[in-house]
Structures are given as C-alpha cells and as structure tokens.
C-alpha cells in the first residue's frame, strides 16, 4: 500500500511538471508571436547544448534521470544525456564497421574479394599506419596505430552524427573534447616515460642548459620548469579547443542561415529570395562542414601522433 501511494505521488508530481512545462512552452510561444521575431538564439542553444532529452521524428525521448552520487562534498550526476547517447552510438558504429571489415579481410585471405567499403577502410588504415603513425613516431610506432585509428574514426563518427537529421554532435561539447584531449595527454606522457625512462622523462620537466654553473642552473630550473609544465598542458588544451570551436562554429553558421528564413518570413516582398539564398548557403556550408568533420578528426589524430613522437625522441 505504501509503495502504491508513493508511486501515485511520483506520478502526480511528474504530471504537474509536464503541465508546468507545457504552460511555459505556450507562454514562450505567445511571447514570440507578440514580438513578431522568432528566438533564433534559443533555437541555436537548444540544438547545440546538451540535454536530458532527444528529439526524434515521432516525438521527444526523455532520458532517465538517476539519483546523483554524493562523494564527500561533491555531487556527481551520472544520468545519460543526449551527447552521451550519441557518443555510445558512435562507438557502436565504429565497432560494427571494423568487425565487418575484419570479416572481409579474413575472407580475402581465404580467396574471397572484399567489398568496396572494406577496401576503402583498409586503404585508410594503411595510409594512417605508414604516413601518420610511422612517419611521426618512428621506431616502435606500430603499437600506437590502434590508438590513433580509434581517435580518428571515433571523432569522425561523432562529427558526422551532428550533420544527420535529428542528430547531435558530441564533439560540440567541450567536456567531450576535453576527455579526448585528456586521453591523448595520458598516452603522450606515458609513452614518453616508457621510452625515456624516469631520468630521461624528468629532463622533459626540469630543464636547464648545460654549462651555466650551480647558480645559473638553479635560476633556469625555477624559470623553465613552469614553462615546461605549461607546454605539456597547452598541447592537449589546443586539441580540445580546436575541435570544439570548429564543430560548434559550423553548426552555428548553418543554423543561423536557416534562421534567416524565419526572421524575414514576415516580409511581403523578397521573402522567397531570402529563403532560396538561405537554403543555398546552408547547403554549401553543409558540404564544407562535412569536409571540416574529416579534417578535424585527421588533425586531432595527426597531432597526437606528432606529440608522441616528439616526447619519445626528446633529448
């Protein structure tokens, strides 16, 4: 009986929240109608920002919200969000794609010709291994090939998911790009520690030119040690901001161009010209955004391999 009453109370609270949400939506629509100007900024933030719901062709999927964890003075919310769901979808797509390619490669060695998609993926993998990983990392580079390829295809899939209808781009969230950059930082520093050893790795932090004497060496250590530490942090920070800024900027421009249709929709003359121009520029920007999606994934993977090679061969 107690459980039933609790469930009834939760249902009533949920219904009240839905009614309040609907009332806010009606009020917001009325304010827009009274002002005569659509809220383009709100539309941009609604599409770009993370949320606990996903818009689908048949409605809105409200994601479950879990009870947050309380660790000391910290409150950690592990509830799934839109970007988390699309990250998981990107991971599933990448795994499925390479499992199918591995099956095709096994078939090739058994005397069966692989399909076009498998051949294209195999060519891309060989290109990354030879021209990106081996060229930038050098000796022992093949062990880093799976990590660099995972970065490239995972980031590329997340970028492209933001360009499909009802999709979202997790790389437009700086927390996602920050986590990717943190993975790169760990890989860079651990590879440098393994390649150089403890003494050699310490020289990448505590640096002072030779022949300066005890006093000069101490002064240079005080000056250069913070500089070296900032340099280590600046590399993944640049990866994080570059990917986030480019993906966010592209989506913002496309949505702003489409929003021109609604801004000038009240015009009696010329609105069809504005609509045609807006659609034409949006299509052109969409083509450019596809290129940027590939380019940014390539740059992230390439720079990670460059940084690994630099620290492994530091003197």
Bigger pLDDT: 40 vs 190: 190
In a domain, 12, yes or no: no
In a domain, 46, yes or no: no
Span of 47-51, 130-134, 168-172, 265-269 with lowest mean pLDDT: 265-269
In a domain, 55, yes or no: no
The whole-number average pLDDT for the span 238-265 is 83
Bigger pLDDT: 251 vs 29: 251
In a domain, 252, yes or no: yes
Q: Using CA atoms, how far apart are residues 125 and 103, in angstroms rounded to an integer?
A: 15
In a domain, 120, yes or no: yes
Q: What is the pLDDT of residue 179?
A: 93
Q: What is the pLDDT of residue 240?
A: 92
- Can you give the pTM of this predicted structure? 0.79
Q: What is the pLDDT of residue 40?
A: 66
Residue 2 has pLDDT above 60, yes or no: no
In a domain, 70, yes or no: no
Domain that holds residue 182: 84-312
* 270 band by pLDDT with thresholds 50, 70 and 90: low
Bigger pLDDT: 16 vs 308: 308
Average pLDDT, the chain: 79
The whole-number average pLDDT for the span 88-113 is 78
Number of domains in the chain: 1
In a domain, 37, yes or no: no
Residue 108 has pLDDT above 80, yes or no: no
Residue 154 has pLDDT above 80, yes or no: yes
In a domain, 35, yes or no: no
């Amino acid at each position: 009986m107690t459980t039933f009453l609790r469930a009834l109370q939760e249902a009533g609270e949920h219904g009240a929240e839905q009614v309040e949400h609907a009332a806010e939506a009606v009020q917001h629509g009325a304010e827009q109608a009274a002002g005569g100007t659509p809220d383009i900024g709100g539309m941009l933030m609604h599409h770009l920002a993370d949320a606990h719901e996903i818009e689908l062709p048949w409605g809105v999927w409200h994601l479950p919200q879990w009870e947050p964890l309380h660790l000391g003075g910290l409150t950690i919310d592990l509830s799934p969000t839109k970007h988390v769901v699309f990250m998981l979808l990107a991971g599933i797509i990448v795994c499925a794609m390479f499992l199918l390619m591995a099956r095709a490669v096994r078939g090739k060695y058994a005397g069966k010709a692989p399909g076009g998609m498998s051949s294209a993926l195999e060519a891309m993998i060989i290109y990354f291994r030879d021209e990106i990983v081996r060229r930038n990392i050098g000796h022992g580079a093949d062990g880093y090939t799976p990590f660099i390829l995972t970065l490239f295809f995972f980031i590329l899939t997340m970028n492209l998911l933001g360009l499909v209808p009802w999709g979202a781009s997790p790389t437009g969230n700086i927390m996602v790009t920050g986590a990717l950059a943190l993975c790169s930082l760990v890989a860079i520093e651990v590879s440098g520690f393994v390649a150089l050893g403890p003494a050699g790795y310490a020289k990448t932090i505590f640096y002072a030119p030779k022949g300066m004497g005890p006093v000069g060496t101490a002064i240079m250590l005080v000056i250069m040690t913070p500089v070296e530490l900032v340099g280590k942090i600046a590399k993944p920070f640049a990866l994080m901001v570059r990917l986030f800024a480019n993906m966010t900027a592209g989506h913002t421009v496309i949505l702003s161009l489409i929003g021109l249709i609604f801004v000038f929709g009240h015009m009696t003359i010329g609105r069809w010209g504005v609509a045609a121009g807006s659609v034409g520029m949006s299509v052109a920007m969409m083509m450019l955004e596809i290129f940027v999606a590939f380019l940014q994934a390539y740059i992230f993977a390439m720079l990670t391999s460059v940084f690994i090679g630099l620290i492994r061969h530091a003197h």
